[in-house]
Amino acid sequence: MINLNKIINISNLSEITYNKNGDKTWFLNDKIHREDGPAIERKNGSRLWYINDKLHREDGPAIEHSNGNKEWWINSKRHRSDGPAIELENGDKEWFTNGFRNRKDGPAIEHVNGEKEWYIDDKLHREDGPAIIYANGDKEWYLNDKLHREDGPAIESINGKEKWCLNDKEIFYDPETWNQLVNESNIERIMNK
C-alpha cells in the first residue's frame, strides 16, 4: 500500500478561503501565510503579505492599500531600513525601526504641508533644533519626549508667544537665574537616567 502522506506532504499545502465580501486569504497550518505573493487580497484591491500569521515582507511593502498608501512590516512590526515605513498617497511619510517611530538623520514624520517631527525610539527628540516644526512656523523643542530647551524657549509661536521649559516643566524665564536652573535641570536629568 502506498502512503500518500510520504509522497505529498499534505501539511504544507495552502488553503485559500473566500469571505462573503469576496476577499481571498491564504492559510498554511491554520495561519495566514503565503510566500509567493500577498496572503490577503481584498476585493477593493488592498493586498497584505503574511508569513506565519505575521505581517511580513522583505522585498517591498507588506500592506498595499487600494488608495495608494503603503506600509512596510517585518515580523508584525513597522520597519524599513532604506526609507520611510509608511508612505501615504498624499505624500506624507513616516520612518520606523523595529516598530518604533525612529530616524537618526532627519525627521521621522514629514507631512506634505511642511510639518516635520523628529523621533528617536518612539520619543520626540532632537538635540540640534526643534523636534516639531509646524506648517505655520511654530516650533517645539523636545529631548526624550519632554519639552526642553536650554538656550531659549521650548515653544516658539509665530504670534510671539513663548514657553520656557526644562525637563517638561514650565519655568518662568529670568535671565538672572536661568543658567542656575539649566545646571540643576542637567543634574536632575543625569540622576534620572
User: pLDDT digits over 150-180, tens only?
Assistant: 999 999 999 999 999 999 999 987 777 777 8
> Distance of CA 93 to CAs 17, 71, 90, 101, 191, Å?
34, 10, 9, 11, 36
pLDDT value at residue 8: 40
Under the banding of pLDDT at 50, 70 and 90, the label for residue 5 is very low
Q: What is the mean pLDDT of the chain?
A: 91
pLDDT, mean of residues 47-69: 98
Give, for 123, the enclosing helix (H) or strand (E).
strand 123-124
pLDDT value at residue 6: 35
Burial class of residue 122 in the structure, from the number of CB atoms within 10 Å of its CB (0-12 exposed, 13-18 middle, 19+ buried): middle
pLDDT, tens digit (0-9, with 9 covering 90-100), for 43-52: 999 999 999 9
DSSP string, 128-156: SS-SEE-TTS-EE-EETTEE--SSS-SEE
